[in-house]
Structures are given as structure tokens and as C-alpha cells.
Chains A and B, each alone.
Chain A
């Protein structure tokens, strides 16, 4: 990595907007994410945070703005990319962790196959090596080695989510999108997953964008925070700063947990 690219944002979102008919999904969203940074996006349901994530990850086509990613060939607007280019990026440089592991896993394929798929998609052709990498990653997400040939439908919810994370991180993606990664799990399971994620983020120096309504998640994982309401960003700043000294009335409500989110 040369000196220049270290000072260049990994992802630069510029005036991004998406409408559903007359209704605002999200509008006028701009921010930069630098390598190694974790950005948290919080807000209640309907605040537009999921729409924003889908637009950034290329699952939805925004009607305005740019999503500039620092590719191997320099910064490129991913909105203007062909679908082929975008899909290629989605299985190499990017990763996406879904809230529901069923959306991110192949439920009929073994755990090893699930983790190996991204490796094979980018050309890995040595079965033994693929299997060894898969086994290593299962270990890193605390799944017992003897479950490697079991299909995830036999796994608990927490295990499925950990498997989804392994499947996504195995190719060392440069940017990870996470949509409520701890949603739908029991509190004790959430804590373990969060702990695991924090370890991986630190170890791998991951760049990530995490959408959640759970402030505990961002407090633990995010360097910076964006607070969204009605499709717009109402406050942004360093995580501790926003959570400890919220400026916007809505953020204050959110932090004081008055809001049922």
C-alpha cells in the first residue's frame, strides 16, 4: 500500500438518496470511511439505515449520489459499475453479514462448503487447502472442528451467525457490511458473538459498516457513529462522544433509552 492510498478514504459516500415513490428511504447521505475504521449507523426501524446499507452494498439501486470505493485500480463509483463488476467485488473485496443467517448461508451445504465457497469463487482449487482454511476459520469463530461436514440447518442460531461471519471473512475482505449482526439472538448469545466480533475486528484491522438499533453493539465495535432519523443523518461523530454527549434531541432520546427501538 503506498503512502497516498493510506490517506485516501476506502469508501466515500456522496449525496446518496433513495425514494420509494413519494416516501423518502434515505436522502443526502455523505460520509467517508478510512481503512481500518468501523462506522456504526444507528436509528429506530424506518429511519432509513437499512435502505442506506442496501444502497451502499449494491442490493438496491439508489436514485441519487455516488458510492466511491477504493478498488485495486483506484477509486470507482460502484453505482455506475456493471452488475458483473459489482458482483465480482461483492465476492472478493466486500462481504455482507445478514441479520438472518439463512439469508447469508447455504442451508443445505456443509459448514466447510459454506466457508469454502468464497475461496472457490475466487479460484481456490486445492481441496485439502480449502478444507484446512475452512477448519481454521471454524475454530476462529468457535465452531468445533467435528462439525465441519454438518449442514448449518442443524446449528443453533448463534452458531449459524458465527458460521456466516466465517464464510464472509475467509477471503479477508477489505470492507464488511453488517446488518443487525446480533439481531434475533438471545442476550447471552449476543454477548458472546459481540466479543468474538470485537476480537476479529481488532485482529484483522477490519473496515466495516454496521447497521444496528442496539447501542451496545456500536459502543463495543464502532469508532464513529451516524445517527439516522426519517431518512436523514441527524448527528455524527466519534462513538464515545456521540453516546456520552449527544447533541441532537433525537440522539438524546435514543441514548436515554426512552425510545423503544
Chain B
């Protein structure tokens, strides 16, 4: 007798056990520790923190381990955890001018107050596989210098003094929160930046690249890129002032873009902005280009119909957790709708044949 497919529950349990064993791999080899992932796969950890919207390197490392190195899966784990956390309050805005920079470069000025700091970058490495890394080997000790306690002013502030660059509007109004309120379109710039900073690195990169190739031309320079630790401060109501509760590593990019000017405004430079958790240079630069591109209406530029100018298109498709969920859901059974289609197609074909025969 025919028995409908049963045993979904047992199949799931077995699959989970198999997955756990695959994750561990060859047990003759030492197991990865969370600390090892955190210290040696830092950039993966950073990406998971940035797109998971949760600054916690240990949890990000755990998620990477659990996800077998699938970063989108790891981001998903972090997001699902984050959503259950209580909200204690909001910090005061971080002051990136007071960042303890480990890297700070400007493509627009050769030298500037605070100096250019190359920092730990892949930029000028030759991309040759280093076979020495295949064996364990201690790295060279890098040169050090005493930290400079002086604040490092933003490059865009220098341009600002001459009125050569637009002034960022200041607002004390709290921005809306993408994770607590449904997305509303058209979105404020604050909301757009939130969506971009947690958006998929690959998607944001491709969008930014498309603007460089002429699909909504931005013609951007990196005015400044800086990476380092900034203090996180919170107002404590009982104290009446803000105290530092920790520090986070951030990557900030101010891109400088041309603006032709309008009837009412003389030509000046405009800004695109990127700010991302951790050392996430590519993402931060890309974010600043996409931010700038989405501002076409506000700056009175032409809408050329480029994807990176289309707010709804960018914001509704930037989130990799939404995207991968919906993409992969087509694996789920669709017997019922498929059956409905099957019957329809059969009926349409039968009628088409009947008509043909009648005509002959």
C-alpha cells in the first residue's frame, strides 16, 4: 500500500547530527578555538559583526565556527541572537575625530595634519601565495611608535573651512531604527545609511562599482579613510553626564564628489559617507559611493535610471539575510501550487489540441 512521505521529524534529527559531525571534520586534528578564529580570521569576524549589526568579536567567532565558515549563515546566527537582546539605551554619537587611528589615508591631499598612516593593509602586498604560511612561522615584529594622543581632524573639515564642500546637516532628532520600525520609503538618509552599513558587502560593492562605470556616475575620491578604536559613551541619568562604557573599532570613509552646482548654489564638493564596524575597508568605501549616488534627488541631479540611484531597489535588496532566506525557500515543498499549475497547463494544452483538431 502506498504510504505518504512520513518521517520528516526523524530525517531532520539525523540531518542535524550529520551536520554537526561534518562541521567538526577530522577529529584527529585539533579543534578550532573561538579565540583562534577571533585573532586569526579577524576580517571574517569583522564582516559578521558589521552585517550582523552586533559588535561582539567572540560571538561572531562562535557564529563562524558554528556556520562552518559560511559568513552569511554566521551573520544570520548573530542577527537572530541580537533580536532577542534587551535594549538598555542608546550611546551618545561616537566622535570619529577622536579615533585612535591605526590607519588613515587621504587620496585628495599629499600631506595633512595628523599625517597619512598606512597601517596594516593588504594594499601594497604582492598577491603571491606565501608558502611559508603553510608551515607555522612567527611573523616579523613590526616597528612601533608611541601613540599620538592628539585628535586627528577630518580631511573634509579642511575643505569645509573654505566652503568648498557641503556642510553635513546637523540634527538632534533621534534617527529611526531599521530594526525596530518597518522600512518606509522614501527613506531618510539616516535610514539609508543604516541599511547600507548592515547590507551585504558583495551587493554594496557591486552597486558602488556600477556607479564608477557610469551607471549613475559619482566620480568619487577617497577624501579620507580611517580605521581605529573610538570610545563609546553613554549618558547615565543618575550622573547627568556621559561615561565611557567601552570602545569599538570602526572604519570610516568620507568620499569627496564633484557637484556642478545649480542656479541657487555655486559648485562645491559633496560627500558620500561610509561607517562600518571593524576593519571593513572595502565595504566602507563602497557604502560611501552608494550613499552619494542615492542622494541625486536632494542635490538636484538627473535620475539616469541607474540601479544605484534607485532607493527602493538598493534598500530592498541589500540585506543578505532577507535575500538568502527568500532565495533558498524555493527548496521548500511547493507540491500544492505546483499541482495547481500542472492541472492548469494540462487543461490549456488539451484545449489547444482540441482547437487544432477542430480546425483541421
Contact = CB atoms under 8 A, between A and B. Distances in A.
A45 B263 CA distance: 21
B174 to A, nearest CB: 30
A21 interface: yes
A22 interface: yes
Nearest to A23: B263
B355 interface: no
B356 interface: no
Interface in A11-39: 21-22
Q: Is the contact region of chain A dominated by helix, strand, or loop, or is it mixed?
A: loop
A24 to B, nearest CB: 14
Interface string B256-298: 0000000110000000000000000000000000000000000
A21 B300 CA distance: 12
A178 to B, nearest CB: 27
A142 B264 CA distance: 51
Contacts of A22: 263
B148 to A, nearest CB: 48
Contacts of A21: 263-264
Nearest to A22: B263
Contacts of B263: 21-22
A22 B264 CA distance: 9
B300 to A, nearest CB: 10
A22 B263 CA distance: 9
B235 to A, nearest CB: 43
B261 to A, nearest CB: 14
Interface string B235-265: 0000000000000000000000000000110
Nearest to B263: A21
Interface string B115-138: 000000000000000000000000
Interface in B306-360: none
Interface in A204-259: none
A170 to B, nearest CB: 29
Nearest to B262: A21
A193 B345 CA distance: 42
Nearest to B264: A21
A22 to B, nearest CB: 7
Contacts of B264: 21
A254 B19 CA distance: 82
Interface of B: 263-264
Interface of A: 21-22
Nearest 3 Cβ contacts at the A-B interface? A21-B263, A21-B264, A22-B263
3 contacts: A21-B263, A21-B264, A22-B263
